[in-house]
Amino acid sequence: MKFDTRDKKPHVFWLLIPTAVAAAAIGILMANGAKKNALPICLVMAAYGLSVICILMHAFREQLKYNPYSYNTIIYVGFSLFTLSVTVTYLVIALRLVRSPELAAQPDLILHILLDSAKNYMFLSSPFILAFSATLCRSNIVLIRREGRSLVNVLGIILSVLLVGGLVFLFFFDRFVSGSEREVMIHDLIANLFAAIYLYFECMLIGTINADAIAARSEPEPDRDFLIIPGCAIRADGTPTPLLQGRIDRALEFARKQKELTGREITFIASGGKGTDEMISEAACIAQYLKKQGVPDEQIILEDRSTDTFENMKFSKEKILGTGRSGKIAFATTNYHVFRSGLFARRVKMRAIGMGAPTKWYYWPNAAVREFVGLLTKHRGKQALILGGLIICYIVMTLLAYR
């Protein structure tokens, strides 16, 4: 699939149509007797879930064509998986109703399926969570052994403990409940709220992993005019660290491939300011390395003011505009950093496609966790809206179940 080839932003307004149809159908069926029509209601809910998944995945595909570096790509994938788990649940219940029609006599059967959807998703996805957490812990242990102890190097272990701890907590908390109906309702309210919050962050985590993986494997078409290389820490002697060298080598690889295929030269934007503990700017370090690899001065532009990825993109765009030339833009960074870099490029209204440089296997998982945490700090309004909506839905359903 080619990225960045669509000019119009995709929308999910089509969700309103199956939502209205499903709501009308369920309303009619419930008016004629919820228990009598439990099987048709389950089938309608399953069909609605499948339509939602199709619409979200179509929107995801179109989003990649419009802007692959968007929170929408995370949300579409993460919540498609959640919808899939709800759909499967309704199909399983429908099958059980066919075999045992007496199950329809259970009070508020359909409501309780929805009410348990977040908890069911947690337990259905637990094999992935356990495998992911084990991988994170293993990579972090290797990382600590080779690069030393620091808070940054144990982020993966912290996240693993939170993920597995959340599963263990809910498993035991939800198994032991007694007391009055009010106490049971409060217990269920706490369990459902915890599951809803866990669900949200798990969906975001899975969506981020997917978005990062797609972005890291992508490569621009060989028709670029400018190629940004965002800087990172350099060595004390002013030479690039392996991480930075990987980015530069990836940029050079692409430039040489483009030259061979199309004969088109590319202008490198060496981006990165000078840290307090650095003898030269990161931009100068990148430029020196490029020159040693045979890149002429006229194909290198220095941007030496930036202090973070956002400024890398912002100031690099200014440098490109300052040339008086327009053209297609690419950027080369470390594989786990492509998605977030692309997100910042779009934030400064620069359409650019990234490429990822490989890094050590034990470094990537922990770095990906840092990127995930960094992404969570952005678009707080959109995240609060989705998380708040989930919380309200589960509060209302819990209260309805105990009306």
Tens digits of per-residue pLDDT, 221-249? 999 999 999 999 899 899 999 999 999 99
Per cent of the chain over pLDDT 70 is: 98
Segment among 93-102, 131-140, 210-219, 290-299 with least mean pLDDT: 93-102
- Between CA 183 and CA 203 the distance in angstroms is 30
Look at residue 108 and tell me whether its pLDDT is greater than 70.
yes
pLDDT band at 375 (very low <50, low <70, confident <90, very high): confident
Look at residue 3 and tell me whether its pLDDT is greater than 80.
no
For residue 70, which of 388, 389, 378, 386 has the smallest C-alpha distance? 378
Mean pLDDT score, 378-398: 85
Q: Which CATH number fits domain 226-327: 3.40.50.170, 3.40.47.10, 1.10.8.60, 3.40.50.620?
A: 3.40.50.620
Look at residue 369 and tell me whether its pLDDT is greater than 90.
no
Mean pLDDT score, 28-47: 87
Q: Where are the domains of the chain?
A: 1-106, 116-217+361-403, 226-327
Look at residue 145 and tell me whether its pLDDT is greater than 80.
yes
Helix (DSSP H) and strand (DSSP E) numbers for the chain: 14, 5
pLDDT band at 93 (very low <50, low <70, confident <90, very high): confident
Look at residue 13 and tell me whether its pLDDT is greater than 70.
yes
Max mean pLDDT among 77-81, 134-138, 232-236, 256-260 falls in 256-260
pLDDT band at 112 (very low <50, low <70, confident <90, very high): confident
Look at residue 34 and tell me whether its pLDDT is greater than 80.
no
Look at residue 329 and tell me whether its pLDDT is greater than 70.
yes
The reported pLDDT for the residue numbered 107 is 65
- Between CA 229 and CA 233 the distance in angstroms is 13
Look at residue 321 and tell me whether its pLDDT is greater than 80.
yes
On whether the CB atoms of residues 329 and 351 are closer than 8 A, the answer is yes
Mean pLDDT score, 67-74: 90
pLDDT band at 275 (very low <50, low <70, confident <90, very high): confident
The reported pLDDT for the residue numbered 117 is 87
The reported pLDDT for the residue numbered 312 is 97
- Between CA 65 and CA 344 the distance in angstroms is 17
- Ramachandran region of residue 140, left (φ > 0), alpha (ψ -120 to 50) or beta? alpha
Instruction: List the strands of the sheet with 300-303, edge to edge.
Output: 300-303, 267-271, 226-230, 329-334, 352-357
The reported pLDDT for the residue numbered 101 is 81
The reported pLDDT for the residue numbered 399 is 86
Give phi and psi for 50, each to the nearest 5: -65, -40
The reported pLDDT for the residue numbered 1 is 60
Mean pLDDT score, 347-365: 89
On whether the CB atoms of residues 358 and 338 are closer than 8 A, the answer is no
Chain-centroid distance, C-alpha 248: 26
Mean pLDDT score, 86-113: 82
Look at residue 337 and tell me whether its pLDDT is greater than 80.
yes
pLDDT band at 185 (very low <50, low <70, confident <90, very high): confident
Residue with tokens 């996240």: 159
- Between CA 340 and CA 333 the distance in angstroms is 10
Per cent of the chain over pLDDT 90 is: 48
For residue 70, which of 11, 118, 132 has the smallest C-alpha distance? 11
Look at residue 152 and tell me whether its pLDDT is greater than 80.
no
- Between CA 390 and CA 316 the distance in angstroms is 39
User: What's the whole-model pTM score?
Assistant: 0.86
Mean pLDDT score, 21-34: 89
- Between CA 352 and CA 372 the distance in angstroms is 21
Mean pLDDT score, 188-205: 90
Look at residue 314 and tell me whether its pLDDT is greater than 90.
yes
Mean pLDDT score of the chain, rounded to an integer?
Answer: 89
